[in-house]
Homo-oligomer: A and B are copies of this chain.
Amino acid sequence: MPVNIYDVAKKAGLSVVTVSRVLNNSSTVRDYNRQKVLKAMEELDYKPNAAARSLAKGDTGMIGLILPTIDDPFMSQVLFAVERAAREKGMFLVTAFAPGCEEPGYANPVSLFRENRVDGILILSPVKNEEYILELKKNGFPFVLLDQHHSAVQAPSVTVDNFYGGYQATARLIAAGFKRIAHISGSDIYESSAQRLEGYKQALRDHGLEIAEELIASGNFTIAGGYEALAGWIERGQLPEAVFAADDNTAFGVIDAARKFRISIPAELSVIGYDDHPFGSMLHPALSTVRQPTPELGKQGVELLLNVLSGKVKRAVTITLKPEVVLRDTTPAK
């Protein structure tokens, strides 16, 4: 039933290798022969068999993407960007989630590559999941890290400069004249979170401001975390002038709490988030934030991976992208 390359060859009156050649542009084929082949393919509605092709060529035309979850727009955006970039390069994307370090009941996404289902993998994972990354490395399987440095492993990666983002966000707040600037951090298992915190601290230091431990809360990248952090400060009479939240979810929680406690934003409290959540520009007050270049992240990620695959990149280069502060209504107008 399925038509194969022999059927096409027969119909075109040529050999299979000529057909294969026009399929791959691998070598020159006399033009009128190429036409014959193309016509035969058209008429037979021929589609090459990916498995056979993989087996012969030793590659799959697919790349893998491992994400922890997809419960927030940043992850969605990364996924979307990666898919677009991959498809633009003619590759398909197999997506796997690895919520926990170990996943009882599920085949480890690692089998994804060990079985040669994909040519390489993009990994965006919390630092804790280092084991399987180390395994990948040991096996020499091509991969690149997305948005996370893993201290224990030297690997090609593309990241967004979280230190810079944290620094810039804080610097803007300082420039607006605030002294009591709080930070609500994300989750310890993400290196990005730690780096935003470091950026915050450094900005404070650089501008002669004290780092007050009581103004650093932990929010776990959640609305509830943001809400509780602000509520805590209010209850303890420690309301800051401004807060830099580790992500927009947290910031929304802060705004929500501010509303509850009748604290006016930005008059009494400024807020700046991180990620440029789509809601940020739509809801009122519009949220000031730090925008990450997710399309670029995806694009550079797949390009780097492709370069690793082609052998163009051999060392553990790391590409660092810059995020961009976007000031809207939760920070004072200039």
Question: Residues of A with Cβ closer than 8 Å to B?
Answer: 47-52, 54-55, 60-62, 69-71, 73, 75-76, 79-80, 83-84, 87-88, 90, 92-97, 105-107, 111-112, 114-117, 222-224, 227, 252-253, 256, 259-260, 278-279, 282-284
Contact = CB atoms under 8 A, between A and B. Distances in A.
Contacts of A284: 256, 259-260
B94 A93 contact: yes
A90 B117 CA distance: 13
A97 B92 CA distance: 11
A223 B279 CA distance: 8
Contact of A97 (B52, B80, B116, B253): B80
A62 B282 contact: no
Nearest to A278: B71
16 contacts: A47-B115, A47-B116, A49-B116, A51-B55, A62-B94, A69-B80, A70-B70, A70-B79, A75-B76, A84-B97, A87-B107, A93-B94, A94-B95, A252-B279, A256-B284, A260-B284
A140 to B, nearest CB: 9
Contacts of A116: 47, 49-51
A70 B76 contact: yes
Contact of A282 (B70, B80, B223): B223
Given A93-B94, A224-B282, 17 more contacts: A48-B115, A49-B55, A61-B117, A70-B80, A71-B80, A75-B76, A76-B76, A79-B95, A83-B97, A84-B97, A87-B96, A88-B105, A88-B106, A90-B107, A92-B96, A92-B117, A95-B95
B107 A83 contact: no
Most buried by B among A83, A92, A112, A222: A92
Contact of A95 (B83, B114, B227, B256): B83
A92 B97 CA distance: 11
Closest 6 CB pairs of A and B: A51-B54, A223-B282, A47-B114, A51-B55, A50-B115, A50-B117
A110 to B, nearest CB: 10
A309 to B, nearest CB: 16
Nearest to A91: B107
Contacts of A111: 47
A90 B115 CA distance: 13
Nearest to A69: B80
Contacts of A282: 222-224, 227, 252-253, 256
Nearest to A56: B51
A61 to B, nearest CB: 8
Nearest to A277: B279
